[in-house]
Amino acid sequence: MTTPDAIVRSHRNIRRYVLPGERVVFTARSHWGKLAEPVLTTFGGFLLLALLVVPGAGMVVGESADWLWLLFLVLLGRLGWKVLDWRNEWFVATDKRMLLLYGLVTHKVAMMPLVKITDMRYSRSLVGRVLGYGEFLLESAGQDQAMRRINWVAHPDATYRELCATIFTPGMAAAQPAGRPGFGGG
């Protein structure tokens, strides 16, 4: 089991934004389901390419086949980009604030202090219930915040309980151990 503090120590991009004196409640990547569409699109492109170009069964030959291979390489590059982007995205909650770190080329940080959060909605679609992800919607006192919606939250039930304990009963969250099974990088 990897604790949130161990993840913070091992990832420079997370360590850079956690302030001294902040206690990390949890860290998590977005759910792997975020990659389902790019993986399926690339796989579908490969099947289509195999159907159209494979000698004997193929219908396309010559320069047209070269263009199809080029389009497949674009799909493969897009998949690689999405995987790298997913690996670089982190949702971090401390005892003082929540952070959403994202962006592959341009690193972006969305942050919301816990004292500004007045309400938090939690929803799971049918697919989210099957695959194990959810979405959080954060409300603050009549203000637009940089971090309002958090999509693709892995282990949403446990994350919701941990966030509610941290936001709405801060003294209780400080007494709980920081490490939770399932939080940490999957």
Domain 4-30+89-175: assigned CATH number: 2.30.29.30
- The string of pLDDT tens digits covering residues 137-148 is 888 876 667 788
- The residues with which 117 forms a beta bridge, in sequence order, are 140
**pLDDT number for residue 1:** 53
**Residue (of 186, 135, 139, 142) closest to 167 by Cα position:** 139
Name the maximum alpha-carbon separation found in the chain.
Answer: 70
Asked whether residue 167 carries a pLDDT value surpassing 60, the answer given is yes
Long-range CB contacts (< 8 A, 24+ apart) of 107-113?
A: 107/13, 109/17, 110/146, 110/147, 111/146, 111/147, 112/138, 112/140, 112/145, 112/146, 112/147
What percent of the chain stands above pLDDT 70? 79
Give the relative orientation of helices 36-53 and 63-88 as an angle to the nearest 10 degrees.
Answer: 170
- The string of pLDDT tens digits covering residues 22-78 is 988 888 899 999 999 999 999 999 998 888 876 665 565 666 777 888 999 999 999
Of the given ranges (55-59, 61-65, 92-96, 105-109), which has the lowest mean pLDDT? 55-59
**pLDDT number for residue 57:** 57
HSE of 88 in the Cβ direction (CA atoms, 13 Å)?
Answer: 14
Count the Cβ atoms, other than its own, within 10 Å of residue 104.
13
What percent of the chain stands above pLDDT 90? 40
- The residues with which 132 forms a beta bridge, in sequence order, are none
Residue 172 pLDDT level (bands cut at 50, 70, 90):
low
Q: CA-to-CA distance for 69 and 28, rounded, in angstroms? A: 36
Asked whether residue 126 carries a pLDDT value surpassing 80, the answer given is yes
**pLDDT number for residue 61:** 60
**Residue (of 87, 99, 80, 78) closest to 24 by Cα position:** 99
